[in-house]
Amino acid sequence: MRVAVLDDYQHKAAQLADWDSLSAEIDFFHAPISDLVMTLAAYDVLVLMRERTKFSAETLAALPNLKLVVTTGMRNASLDVGHLHDRGVPVSGTGIPNYGAGQGVASTVEIAWGLIFATRKRVVAEDRLLRQGVWQAEMPVNLAHSTLGLVGLGRLGSQMVAPAKAFGMEVLAWSQNLGAERAGELGAQRVGFGELLAYSDVVSIHLVLSERTRGLFGAAQLEAMKPGASLINTSRGPIVEEAALLDALRRGRISAGLDVFDQEPLPPGHSLTALDNAVLTPHLGYVSEEALAGMYAEAVEDIAAFQAGTPIRLVS
C-alpha cells in the first residue's frame, strides 16, 4: 500500500505520528502539487490536511488506484466526498484534540488576537518602519473602551469574549441563528448585522463557510463598517469578497488581519501583499504541534483500521 501525506508545509508530519507502524510505503509532500493526477496516480491512500488542496470529482476520477482518503477534521469543503462514496471509496476523518475548549480552539483564537494586536497596536507596521529608520510613524489605538464585534458566537467566537472583557472592550455579536439570551449568557450583546458593522472598532469573523456565508462581506458591508475599523478573518477567505476588500484597503477605509484567503497558499505577488494596512498570516489558525500530532496520530489509526477491514471515523 502506498500512502501520500499532502501539504506537510512544516516538514513535521513524519515526526508527529508513528507511520512506521503501518504496513505501507509513506511519502510526504511538503509543497502544493501542481499536477495532482500525474503525481498521485499510483497511490492507494491520500492523507489530506483539510481544505488545503482541492480534490474535485474530475481529479478524483483520474486516480483509479484510490482505496481510502483520510482528511484531518470531520469535514472538508475542498473534497468531493459524494464522488468517493459513489465509488465505494471510504473517507475517514480525525478530530482535533480537545476541540470543544482546547488546542484547536485555543490556537485559532490566539491567532485572531495576534492579528487584532498587529492591526490596532501597529505591531507589524511599526516593526517594518523601525527597521527602515523611522521612529513612531503613527499612533496605535487602545483596545480599552473600544468595541469588538463578533460575527459568529459558536465554539470559536465565544472564546473571544473573555480576552475582550479583560482588555476592557465592549462585545457585540451577530449570527443568523444567535438569540439575545444565548449571547448574554456568553457575555456579549446580540445586535443586528448592520449595527455591529457600524459600531465595532474590530470585526472578527467566526463562521463556517457555506452557501449562506459565502460573500457575506461584500462592498456594501465593508462600506458600512466604522471608518478606521479592523476586519479580522480567521475562518475562511471566501466569506469576504476579495475584490471588495482590496478596494476598501486601498482607500484606507479599514485595516485587515487575515489568516485565510480565497487561494491558499497565497500566490507570490498577490495584491494583498502590497498593502501596508493588511497583516497576513499563512492559515495558522489551527496549526500547532499539539494539534497536528493529534490529527496525524488519528490518521495513522484510520489507515490501520482500513487495512484491518474495519474503517473508522467515516465522513458522511
Q: Which of 50, 120, 122, 283 is catalytic?
A: 283
For this structure, is 264 an active site residue?
A: yes
Q: Are the CB atoms for 7 and 286 separated by under 8 Å?
A: no
Give me the amino acid identity at 194: G
Listed residue (295, 303, 285, 302) closest to 96, CA to CA:
295
Q: Which of 51, 241, 264, 301 is catalytic?
A: 264
* Cell, residue 110: 490566539
Instruction: Please tell me the distance from the alpha carbon of residue 160 to that of residue 81, in angstroms, as a whole number.
Output: 32
For this structure, is 83 an active site residue?
A: no
Q: Are the CB atoms for 259 and 283 separated by under 8 Å?
A: yes
Q: Which of 236, 241, 298, 313 is catalytic?
A: 236
Q: Are the CB atoms for 50 and 291 separated by under 8 Å?
A: no
The label of the residue with cell 495532482 reads 36
Q: Are the CB atoms for 315 and 85 separated by under 8 Å?
A: no
Instruction: Give catalytic residue positions.
Output: 236, 264, 283
